[in-house]
Homo-oligomer: A and B are copies of this chain.
C-alpha cells in the first residue's frame, strides 16, 4: 500500500522507541533504515519486524580498546551494529581529517549493519574515499564447497566527486541473505544460480537455500573477494570468522577513510571523477538499455522520486507488522 513518508518516519521512530533506543540512537538507526527503504534496497524496515532489533540486555557502552593516530578498534559492547559502525565512521573521518587516513574496526556486535552504502556515502560526503566492510555468520559457500562458511560479506566503496558521490554497496554473495528471507516470506522463487541446497544441488527454493548455502557472485573471483572481506571485517578487527567458536556472537565491521590529497590535488580529483562519471554515462548503449547507471544511481533515482511524491509503496503485511510494533511503544 501507499504510505506517506511522514507516516513511515513516525512508525519507524515508534518501533525504535519500543525497542528502547534514545533520541540520538533513533536518529542514526532511522537514517540507516530509511536510506535503504527509500532507495528500494531490501535492508530497510523489514529489520524492525519479526525478531526486530531490541537492545541486547548484556550491552554496555561502545568504547575504544586500542588507538593510534591513524586507527582505532572499538568494542561494540553488544550495541546495535548500525550504531557501532556509525561511531567507527565518525572516528575514521576525524582521523582522516587530521592525518589524511583513518581506519577503525569494531567487534562484539551481533546485528546487521544494514545497507553499508549509507556509511560509505557518509565518508564520500566528507570528500574522502571510503571503504566499509562487514562480517556476519556463515551463509555463503566458498568456490567448490557446499558448506555455508562465509558471511554474505558486503563491501561498500564511496568515491567523492564534484558531480555527486559514487557509492558502490554490494554483497559478495550472489544474493543478499535478506533477499532470500524476502523471497521466503513472499513465497517467491530465487533467481537461478544464486544458491545450493544442503546436498550441493542448485536450488531456487528459499527454504532449501537456507538449509544449504548462498553462492558467491561472479564465480571464483567473487568467492575470493568474499574471503578478503571475511579477513578485513574478521581477524583484522578482532571479530570472529569462519571456523571460530564465537562466530554467531562476534561480528565485525571496518571503516576506512582516505583523503585524495594524500596523493593528488583534492579539487582536481573531485572534478576528474565527475568527468569520468559523465564519460561513462554518455557511452554508447547496448540495444534495449535506456540509461547507463553508475553505482548508487538506481537508488538515488528511486529516492528522488519517492521524495518528490512524499509517499512510497510498502508491502501490506510489512506495513501492518511495523504499525503493530510501533503501537506497542505507546
In chain A between 253 and 294, which residues have their CB closer than 8 angstroms to a CB of chain B?
258, 260, 262-264, 268-269, 272-273, 275-276, 278-280, 283-287, 289, 291-294
Please indicate the chain B residues that have their CB under 8 angstroms from the CB of A243 in the complex: 275-276, 278-280
Q: Which of A7-15, A48-56, A220-228, A308-316 forms contacts with chain B?
A: A220-228
Pairwise interchain contact B235-A276, C-beta atoms closer than 8 A: yes
In chain A between 122 and 154, which residues have their CB closer than 8 angstroms to a CB of chain B?
129, 141-147, 149-150
- Return A65 CB to nearest CB of chain B, in Å: 10
Please indicate the chain B residues that have their CB under 8 angstroms from the CB of A166 in the complex: 227, 231
C-alpha spacing A294/B262, complex, angstroms: 33
Q: Chain A 50-68 against B: per-residue CB contact (8 Å), 1 yes, 0 no?
A: 0000000000000000101
Judge if A35 is at the interface, Cβ distance under 8 Å.
Answer: no
C-alpha spacing A289/B220, complex, angstroms: 13
Judge if A241 is at the interface, Cβ distance under 8 Å.
Answer: yes
Chain A: interface residue total (CB-CB under 8 A): 74
Q: Please, which residue of chain B has its CB at the minimum distance from the CB of A289?
A: B144
- Return A268 CB to nearest CB of chain B, in Å: 8
Pairwise interchain contact B283-A159, C-beta atoms closer than 8 A: no
- Return A169 CB to nearest CB of chain B, in Å: 9
Pairwise interchain contact A105-B292, C-beta atoms closer than 8 A: no
Pairwise interchain contact A280-B145, C-beta atoms closer than 8 A: yes
Partner of A294 from B99, B227, B272 at Cβ < 8 Å: B227
- Can you spell out 25 A-B residue pairs with CB atoms less than 8 angstroms apart? A68-B100, A70-B99, A71-B100, A129-B232, A141-B283, A142-B283, A144-B289, A144-B291, A144-B293, A145-B280, A145-B285, A146-B285, A149-B279, A149-B280, A159-B228, A168-B228, A170-B221, A200-B284, A217-B218, A227-B295, A234-B272, A235-B276, A236-B263, A242-B279, A244-B272
